[in-house]
């Protein structure tokens, strides 16, 4: 009898243990790879200039033009620039290349250019011709390939888009602040500078002309890429609930009492810091911007602001 009771007790314990493990093991183990990630949506604006870039070195032809952005280019020309000219703002023509040998006995390549006056300049690259031909592109410092400018001109010249940045440049290339979320027409595409290779001139509906600098060649992640400057569609369509008078404030970079946090962010951009604390009637937020402007919200609505007035073009 004792033996029977012992067997029954062991059976109950074993069943209980198995039941516990069955319950645990039937629950899938969640790992990082099982977490569903939000799908990143690539917009048409982000892909628009993906096909535009510098020509591969193997496709360079004699006479290919390069715009010079800085007189520092003479530093890369070595001895050939001893009697050289001020080249900034001028163009160089590619004349060919030749193999040379370094002081260490290694093969290098000299790229030969000529200015409009006929002066020749040599840029020595510490790579063999075979290595250069294998590269996606060969960069000549302080220059912009005019073929790149021409490709952008073919795509943008005469086209109309919605401007989504308030950082403009005046016709002297000095930084200015203008309206955003407005339709503009591209009326000029020129070489830019060593940071942003493309300079655009646009005109708004009031006939005001201004400029923007555009980066190309590095995909949609490039700073001041097409997608950070323009939209194909009216941005107002994304915010149908915003009233007309509030949208006019947003276009001009203004704020007004009772605007929401989202509306103020659209108007002024993201603040540098946000300080949240309890207020008399609810949650109070202080938004501080790098230019000294600050906004005070209570329960999500703007109740006070200072130093927001920025002259717009």
For residue 50, with 0-12 CB atoms within 10 Å meaning exposed, 13-18 middle and 19 or more buried, which class applies? middle
Average pLDDT for residues 277-294, to the nearest whole number? 86
How much is the pLDDT for 42?
87
Question: Is the pLDDT score of 95 beyond 90?
Answer: yes
How much is the pLDDT for 12?
42
Average pLDDT for residues 283-301, to the nearest whole number? 92
Order of strands across the sheet that contains 301-306 = 273-278, 283-288, 294-298, 301-306
Residue with tokens 């001009």: 252
Residue 189 has φ and ψ, to the nearest 5°, of -135, 115
Average pLDDT for residues 128-151, to the nearest whole number? 93
CA 18, 21, 23, 26: dihedral to nearest 10 degrees? Answer: -120
Distances (CA, A) of 111 to 60, 70, 94, 132: 11, 19, 8, 11
Question: Is the pLDDT score of 31 beyond 60?
Answer: no
- Please give the span between the terminal C-alpha atoms of the chain, in angstroms, as a whole number: 100
The pLDDT tens digits for 37-90 are 556 678 999 999 989 999 999 999 999 999 999 999 999 998 888 776 899 999
Give CA angle at 271 (267, 274), nearest 5°.
Answer: 130
The pLDDT tens digits for 205-232 are 999 999 999 999 754 456 799 999 999 9
Entry field: residues in the chain:
313
Question: Is the pLDDT score of 309 beyond 90?
Answer: no
Element (H, E) at 277: strand 273-278
How much is the pLDDT for 291?
86
Give CA angle at 151 (147, 154), nearest 5°.
Answer: 135
d(CA 6, CA 12): 10
4 pLDDT band, cuts 50/70/90, is: very low
116 pLDDT band, cuts 50/70/90, is: very high
Average pLDDT for residues 132-158, to the nearest whole number? 94
How much is the pLDDT for 77?
93
Question: Is the pLDDT score of 112 beyond 90?
Answer: yes
Write b or e for each residue in 164-203: b if 16 or more Cβ atoms lie within 10 A of its Cβ, otherwise e.
Answer: eebebbeeeeeebebbbbbebebeebebbeeebbbbbbbe
How much is the pLDDT for 145?
96
Question: Is the pLDDT score of 35 beyond 90?
Answer: no
Distances (CA, A) of 110 to 59, 91, 157, 227: 17, 19, 36, 38
Residue 240 has φ and ψ, to the nearest 5°, of -65, -20
Backbone dihedral region for residue 105 (phi beyond 0: left; psi -120 to 50: alpha; all else: beta) = left
How much is the pLDDT for 79?
85
């Amino acid at each position: 009898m004792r033996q029977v009771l012992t067997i029954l007790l062991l059976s109950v314990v074993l069943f209980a243990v198995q039941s516990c493990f069955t319950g645990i093991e039937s629950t899938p183990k969640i790992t990082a790879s099982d977490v569903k990630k939000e799908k990143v949506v690539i917009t048409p604006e982000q892909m628009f200039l993906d096909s535009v870039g510098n020509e591969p070195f193997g496709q360079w032809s004699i006479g290919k033009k390069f715009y010079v952005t800085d007189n520092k280019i003479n530093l890369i020309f070595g001895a050939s620039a001893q009697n050289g000219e001020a080249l900034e703002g001028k163009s160089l023509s590619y004349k060919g290349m030749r193999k040379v040998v370094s002081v260490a006995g290694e093969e290098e390549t000299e790229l030969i250019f000529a200015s409009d006056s006929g002066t020749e300049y040599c840029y020595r690259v510490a790579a063999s011709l075979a290595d250069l031909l294998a590269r996606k592109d060969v960069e000549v410092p302080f220059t912009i390939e005019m073929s790149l400018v021409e490709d952008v001109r073919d795509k943008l010249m005469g086209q109309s888009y919605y401007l989504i940045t308030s950082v403009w440049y005046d016709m002297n290339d000095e930084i200015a602040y203008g309206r955003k979320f407005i339709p503009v027409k591209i009326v000029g595409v020129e070489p830019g500078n060593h940071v942003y290779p493309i300079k655009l001139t646009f005109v708004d509906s009031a006939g005001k002309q201004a400029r923007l600098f555009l980066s190309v060649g590095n995909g949609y992640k490039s700073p001041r890429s097409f997608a950070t400057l323009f939209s194909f569609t009216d941005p107002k369509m994304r915010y149908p609930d915003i009233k007309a008078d509030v949208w006019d404030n947003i276009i001009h970079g203004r704020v007004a009492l009772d605007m929401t946090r989202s509306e103020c962010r659209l108007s002024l951009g993201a603040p540098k810091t946000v300080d949240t604390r309890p207020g008399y009637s609810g949650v109070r937020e202080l938004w501080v911007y790098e230019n000294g402007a600050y906004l005070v919200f209570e329960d999500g609505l703007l109740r006070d602001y200072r130093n927001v007035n920025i002259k717009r073009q």
